[in-house]
Every structure is written in structure tokens, then in C-alpha cells.
Amino acid sequence: MMGMVRHSIELGSTHSGLMLRTMAAEGHPTAVATLLAAGAHPDRPEVSGDTALHSACGSPCGCRVELVAALLEAGATADARNYAGRTPSMLAASLPGPHEPTVAVLRALDRAGADMQVVDAKGRGLLAMAAAAGNLPAVNWLLRRGLDPSLPDADGRTPLDYARAHSDGAVASALEAAVGERSRKRAAVAAVTAVAAGASTATSHAGSTTTTTIIPASAAAPSGSQAEARADSGACSPHPASGELPARCVVWGEKLGVGGFAVVFAGRCQGRSVVIKTPLLPASPARVHALRSEHAVLRALPRHERVVGLEGWVTRGDGAHGMVISRHDRSLGSMLGRPRTPLSAAERFAIAQQAAEGLAFLHSHGVVHLDFRPDNILLTDDMHVKICDFGNSVVLSEAQAQAQAQALALVVPDERPSGVIRYMAPELRAVQPYGTKADVWAWGVTAFELATWRRPSLEFVPFDAAKEAADPAGPMRALDPGLADLIAACTAEDPDERPSMEQVVERMGALQLKECPRPVVAA
């Protein structure tokens, strides 16, 4: 075994990191110590985001205090989260059965600064996880540590519910006793408070005059959970200057997807469902810059109903950071072109109109989106538009914004902006000066696809407006004439001939037919 360890060290950091996680999971402290002494980094993650500390704490063989202590002493982050949003303490608490070493491991993590009040994306804490696993020693230690046995998760389930669901009588009995003890203490505090409030008067007599002095009742000390709630109230708002959120206010969940520059995770922030965008690893300067730019654009904008909501920026204890925004699980791109669409003709028209309103709002604040397309149009449950993904966006200077009001394009690019060719205006493809009219083109292409309910199979082929308009049997001819004329104007080759987004909103509002033709289902 040690021969394999030495060989992995010779192969370099990637192999030694893999070997470190393997040896940690299998519970070999000598091998772990050798790898750490050779420079293997304890926080180097694998593809799932697990570090060596995750590997140790999540394995019955590796969950040993001497091994965990060695990793922590070498600099392992006690509260690191993997890509499923799990910390080492969560994995240790979830080990099945009465696993005695779990308590020593949790105690070591606690001393190293791990948050014992940590919860996952569903609001489940360590006590609920230990209860579900039937780990009685961990349950008893966490109760002594002060965790609330009656605290529900996002589904309303308490640790006692988890113990009962897994038919563990001993764990359920321990939790029932803890819940009863807490109830008795709260009842006693309430009784003392009531007596103090109603009967704490002292009366003194002076001659025939009676003076009554009211002795104020002392306020009862808040319970642990109440004190935490008070301490946290208001503390999770972004700092007005930086937009930073305290790390404890954001719960990281599972990985949802990967884009060109970022990885997207599910999460919760102050009880709200959110997504967290982090730079795609390896976090190159370009990727970090794109995400920081998107954050800066959203922070500079006032909130608007047609733009995705920004919660703030968060930095985890293990150094991972990301932008936190409101979560909407559907995009127009994920629905576009489906033959059996749930969207009515009126809903598709409304989406086009609301998207125009969102772009008009952005332009009124000097923001050019530059990557407007169906994939970046999120839809709420009631089919309202939220424009997202501002990584390519440009904020115009005051002089440029004034020039845009006179239809003058003043942004001179050094290179062609990144994006999808089909929605890229001719001036962008030709690396010519551009302005807000580039977004008008993208809206015109998107409106055409919404109206015809036709998504191209080749997005790297530019949209040919002239060809679509000239095709006598094409879908453009089947559109309402007013809408067809507007789409044609928005996709004019010359940006000066395109309307502004404010004018698009006005023309959409003036159309008599507030519908797009129903999609034709192929036989």
C-alpha cells in the first residue's frame, strides 16, 4: 500500500490528491500522514466536490478522530461543502447505526470551527440526519450540544419524525425525552414570567397615604433558538457597499448545471429558493471577471419585475464564492419548439411583450444585454418573464447613453462579443460599433421564434430576416401583419433602421391582436 502512496506522490498533485481521498476513506492514518507531509492539499476536491475530510467523515472506516484531526491540523476546511451541498459534519452524522467514533469526530470538527447548526438545502440539520441514520451516540451528543429536537425542516419534519420513520425506538425515545424536557423548561419560564408580570408589586404605608411601587418584571431569557433568531434577524441583508451576504445565511444545495463560465447550484437564502452561480473550475480570470461583471450590472440596477432578482454575493468558509439570485426553474429556451406546448397564443404574445419591457428598462439605465435569447428568459410559475445572465452585458457611460438616445452606436469592441450566432446582430458579428439596437435585433429573432413556435436546429447559423420575409410559404406570412412588420423592423440589417425597445413596447401595446398564432403540430 505504501508503495502505491509513494508512486502517487511521484506522479504529482492530482494523483496524490486522489490517493489522499482514497486513503482517508479507507482509514489509513499513516498513509494520510505521508501524503500530507509530501504536500498533498487536504482541500483538493474530486469531481463530486468531496475533499479528503468528506471522504473520511463519510466512511465507517475513515470516520476516526485521529485521521480527521490530522486532516484538520493540515489545514482542511471543517465546513467545506461538496457539490451536493454536504459538509463533513453532515456525512459523519449520517453514518448508519450506533457508530461510536462519530461523536469524537463531531467534537473535533466542532473545535475546528464547524457549524453544528448547519442545515442542507431542505433545512435538515445534523440532529435530523443522525436520527434518520439511527445513530444514537451522535443524537445524544448533539442534544447535549444544545440542538433543538423540535426544529422542523422545510417539509415540516422534525428529528423525532425522522427517527419514527426509520423505526428506531431508542433514538425516538431519546428525542421524545428531549422534546418533553424542553417543553417543561419553557412552561416553567412562562409561569415565572406571568407571576412576575402580574404580582410583583410592593406596597408601603405612610400615615393614611398608601404608596404602591410597581417592580418591573424581568424579561425571560430567550431560548437558544429564539436567541439565534434574534441575532440573525436583519443580519442576512447584503452589505450596502459590497452586496456581501454572511455565509451562514446561504445554504448550498445540489449542482443544477454547467454553463460556459459558471456552475449553478441550488440553494436557500433566508428561506427563499435561490441559485448560486460560481466560476467554472479552473476559475480562470476571464470566468471570474464574467461573474463579477454580471454581479456589478445587477447591483447597479434598481429591482424590476422583468429582471431576475439579485440576493447578493456569498463567500463560503472554504473560499468558494458565488452570486446568489432568485430561482426560476423554467426558461423559454427549455420550452420553445415543443409540439405539445402548454403555452397559449396569448401567453406567447405576453412573453414577447414582457421581454420587450425588460429590455426597455435595461436600456433606460444604460445597460446593453448582448446575450438576449430564449435560454436567458426565465419564466415564473405564472409565466412572467425574468431576464437573466448579464455576463456579456455592457454598461454605457453617460455620454454613450445620451448618444444612444439619438440612435448613435458608440461602443467600439476590441473583439466580437461571445454569444449565440443566431441572436447576434450583424454589427456584432462584423465587430462593428454597436449599441442598444443589438438587443433589438435579438428581441426580433426571439419574437419570431415565439410567434412561429419554431426553434432552429443550428444556432450557429445567423438569422436571415430577408429570407424569412421573402418566403411566400414561410411562417412570417402567417403572422398578424402588425407583428410581422414589427419583427421585420427589429431585424433590419442597418441598426439605425431598427426601432428602440421603448418604441417596440409601444407598438406591441398598440397591436389589436394580442396573440401569436398557435403552433402547427407536425403529423
Q: What is the rounded CA–CA span in Å between residue 35 and residue 8?
A: 9
DSSP SS3 for 144: helix
> How many Cβ atoms are within 10 Å of 424's Cβ, its own excluded?
25
Grid cell of 439 as nine digits: 438587443
Grid cell of 502 as nine digits: 421603448
Instruction: Decide: 469 and 478 in contact? Cβ < 8 Å.
Output: no
List of residues 6+ apart from 49 with CB closer than 8 A: 81, 82, 83, 84, 255
Instruction: Decide: 393 and 294 in contact? Cβ < 8 Å.
Output: yes
Q: How far is CA 168 from CA 141, 156, 342, 515, in A?
A: 17, 20, 46, 59
467 labelled binding-site residue: no
Q: What is the rounded CA–CA span in Å between residue 244 and residue 251?
A: 15
> How many Cβ atoms are within 10 Å of 208's Cβ, its own excluded?
5
Q: What is the rounded CA–CA span in Å between residue 110 and residue 314?
A: 22
Instruction: Decide: 48 and 84 in contact? Cβ < 8 Å.
Output: yes
Decide the pairing of beta strands 262-269 and 367-368. unpaired
Residue 411 CB-half CA count within 13 A: 25
> How many Cβ atoms are within 10 Å of 335's Cβ, its own excluded?
18
Binding residues: 277
Binding residues for ATP: 277
